[in-house]
Amino acid sequence: MTNYGQFCAVARAHEVLGGRWTLLVVRELLCGGRRFNDIRRGIPRISRTILSERLQALADVGVVVRVKGRRGPEHVLTDAGRELAGIIGALGMWGQRWLPRRPDREDLDVEPLLVDMQRRVPHRALLKHPTVVRFEIDRAKPRFMLLKASEVSFCTQNPGFPEALTVKAPLAVLVAWWRGDVSFVEAKRLGLSIAGPRDQVRAFPNWFERYQFAAITPAVAQPPDPPRSAYRTSCPPGPIDSPRSPECQEEIVVTVHLLIIYPNPKDVAAFDRAYRDEHLPYAGPRLKGALGVTTKRVVGPAFAPPAYHLMSDVSFPNLDALKACATSAGGQEALQHAALISNGGAPTILVVTEET
């Protein structure tokens, strides 16, 4: 422990609390962590040795006590420890208000984010039946959040219940929404996608009581950085079709769409069943890098029967991501399966870009 040689209470308190990781350990204890592994899940980069040392140091000054729990030793805050909530809260508010928020430039881990989401699910949001939300964040292994009446838990493997929703997003985008940097609508524009029953997809953002400091706005407005699927171009003031020049600062977000358009099937019921029950579960995990899949019925033109029955829209953040998926073994298998289930002839495949 560092000794500043001062009588001042600020210096003496900093001798105890100012070491690396210490206040994060206190934060986890204040958020309900009691067992060693639970505390460490919220701080995945701390070593087991350092965490043991920090807990012991906090116990030595009366901030925590070690007690015997039902499943082993637990660490519980004392009155002195609970009083640190004011300090932790003040640090959080200061950081949210004054520090730059650029998640795409930050060195982030997914575990602390999902742990915080897990502990901010109110009891009123829990579904009647056990439900699993699958998270596919960047290229990391999928994580799973179990929601049931008796518990909300974050798992590295599906605990054995149906996966109601699949959430896909770059980590920076999910962080930006959770932290309050962008709205849910903006996060979807930047690459957040949720697949599942429509009512649950719509309810998803309301299942959580957002990050504790999400409502605190920055003291100084910060221009947003372009997301990975965006590029900067220049359009001088004038008509929308005026020529672009290098001096312009307008930001255009480009999303790439792979459209698979199925002709009218010979057997509509058989096709719909094969598409819903076979193709989507088969193709979804193989479309690596995709932001999401949207299914649309073809209903026009108004003056004649449509030549096509259904369109599957697979969106990607950029053309490179689409090419990587289409040339991968999984992407090829998904496209072959699309042709296999199309009983009205080979589907038409188009690639289009969308600028917003």
The CATH number covering residue 15 comes to 1.10.10.10
Kindly tell me the burial class for residue 325, based on how many C-beta atoms sit within 10 Å of its own C-beta (0-12, 13-18, 19 or more): buried
Residue 3 lies in a domain: no
Strand boundaries in 170-241, DSSP class E: 193-195, 230-232
Residue 225 lies in a domain: no
Beta bridge pairs of residue 255:
354
Residue 237 lies in a domain: no
Residue 234 lies in a domain: no
127 or 22, higher pLDDT: 22
Whether residue 336 is predicted with pLDDT greater than 70 in this model: the reply is yes
**The model's pTM:** 0.62
Average per-residue pLDDT for the chain: 85
Last residue of a domain, one of 38, 59, 88: 88
* pLDDT number for residue 245: 42
Kindly state whether residues 258 and 334 are assigned to the same domain. Answer: yes
Residue 219 lies in a domain: no
Kindly state whether residues 150 and 199 are assigned to the same domain. Answer: yes
* pLDDT number for residue 223: 53
Kindly state whether residues 60 and 142 are assigned to the same domain. Answer: no
> CATH code at 259?
3.30.70.100
Contact (CB, 8 A) for 165 and 203: no
Residue 122 lies in a domain: yes
Residue 162 lies in a domain: yes
117 or 352, higher pLDDT: 117
Whether residue 8 is predicted with pLDDT greater than 80 in this model: the reply is yes
Residue 134 lies in a domain: yes
H-helix segments, the chain: 9-17, 22-30, 36-41, 48-60, 79-82, 85-98, 110-118, 171-179, 184-189, 198-203, 268-274, 280-283, 319-327, 329-341
Pick from 164, 154, 190: nearest CA to 175: 190
Kindly state whether residues 263 and 337 are assigned to the same domain. Answer: yes
Kindly state whether residues 56 and 141 are assigned to the same domain. Answer: no
Kindly state whether residues 124 and 164 are assigned to the same domain. Answer: yes
* pLDDT number for residue 344: 87
Kindly state whether residues 75 and 129 are assigned to the same domain. Answer: no
> Which 8-state DSSP code applies to residue 216?
P
Q: Work out the average pLDDT over 240-260.
A: 54
Residue tagged 């206190």 (tokens): 26
Last residue of a domain, one of 153, 184, 207: 207
Q: Which domain holds residue 318?
A: 252-355
* pLDDT number for residue 3: 85
- CB count within 10 Å of CB 298 equals 15
Kindly state whether residues 57 and 115 are assigned to the same domain. Answer: no
- 333 alpha carbon, distance to own chain's centre: 27
Pick from 285, 355, 349: nearest CA to 313: 349
Pull the structure tokens for residue 28: 């986890």
Our count of domains for the chain comes to 3
Kindly state whether residues 46 and 132 are assigned to the same domain. Answer: no
- The least confident of 63-67, 250-254, 301-305 is 250-254
Pick from 214, 217, 188: nearest CA to 294: 188
Kindly state whether residues 322 and 257 are assigned to the same domain. Answer: yes
- CB count within 10 Å of CB 199 equals 8
Kindly state whether residues 54 and 139 are assigned to the same domain. Answer: no
Last residue of a domain, one of 172, 207, 242: 207
Question: Any residues with CB less than 8 A from the CB of 219 and at least 6 apart, and which?
Answer: 97, 98
| Whether the bond into 301 is cis, omega within 30 of 0 | yes
Kindly state whether residues 265 and 345 are assigned to the same domain. Answer: yes
Pick from 251, 261, 245: nearest CA to 335: 261
* pLDDT number for residue 145: 92
> CATH code at 166?
3.30.1050.10
Question: Of the spans 137-141, 165-169, 286-290, which averages the highest pLDDT?
Answer: 165-169
Whether residue 221 is predicted with pLDDT greater than 80 in this model: the reply is no
Q: Work out the average pLDDT over 68-95.
A: 94
